[in-house]
Amino acid sequence: MTMRRDRALEVLAKHYPDGIVVPVYQSAFDWMAIRPHPLNYLCTGAMGQASSHALGLALGCPGERVVVLDGDGSLLMNLGTLVTIGHHSPVNLWHFVFQNGIYEVNGRFPVPGRRDVDFATMARAAGYPRTYAFDDLALFEDSISEVLAGDGPVLVNLDVEEGEAYPRDYVRIHSAQERESFKHALEERL
C-alpha cells in the first residue's frame, strides 16, 4: 500500500503550519504549493544535502523545530548524515523521507534498492531515538500528533506515489531572493 505524497504533505502542513522546513526536489515543489511560507528553506541544490542543511539549522537554532522533507534517492546520496544526526541528537529535528523508488525530478530513473531499503531501521541503528514508517494515509494522519510530540531526532519513512503535478520552478528554489527571504524570516523569528 502507498499514499500520495501531496496528501501526506497536506497532513503535515495541517499539523506543522509555521515552522522551518527544508524540502528537497519534488517534495519542495509540492510543499511550495501546499504550504508557502518564508521559513521554507529552498536552498538545497546538491542532491543528498537536505538533511545536512537541516541539521545545521537545528543545531544553530535550538529553540526552533526543523523539519526536513527528503527523498529516498536524495538520502541514499548521503547516508552518512544519519550517523551525524544520530551523534548530535538534535531534539528539534524531524526527518521525513518520501520513498517512491525513483529519482522523480531527474528523469524518473529507478533508485537502487527501490522500495527494499528500510530507512527507519537504518536511522534507528544510527542513533535516532524514534522512527516511524507509514504506507497508509489514514494511519499517518492518526499518528502525526504523536510523531511531532516529544524530542527528536525523529525519522519518518513514508511509502508514497506521485500526487498532483505541481510546477517545477527551479529558478525560484535556487534564487538569491528565496535565500534572502528565508534569512530575513529567520532573523525575525529569532
Asked whether the predicted pLDDT for residue 6 surpasses 60, the reply is: yes
Are 8 and 144 in contact by the 8 Å Cβ rule? The answer is no
- Name the residue with higher pLDDT: 128 or 178: 128
pLDDT value for 165: 75
Q: pTM of this prediction?
A: 0.91
Domains of the chain: 3-189 (3.40.50.970)
pLDDT tens per residue across span 78-113 = 999 999 999 999 999 999 999 875 555 555 556 677
What is d(CA 171, CA 177) in angstroms, rounded to the nearest whole number?
10
Work out whether strand 66-71 and strand 93-99 pair parallel, antiparallel, or are unpaired: parallel
pLDDT tens per residue across span 25-68 = 778 888 989 999 999 998 666 677 899 999 999 999 999 999 99
The half-sphere exposure of 156 on its side-chain side, counting CA atoms within 13 A, is 27
**Among 119, 71, 98, CA closest to 12:** 98
**Measured in whole angstroms, how far is the alpha carbon of residue 132 from the centre of its chain?**
14
What is d(CA 123, CA 153) in angstroms, rounded to the nearest whole number?
10
pLDDT tens per residue across span 19-37 = 999 998 778 888 989 999 9
Are 159 and 3 in contact by the 8 Å Cβ rule? The answer is yes
C-alpha cell at 175: 534564487
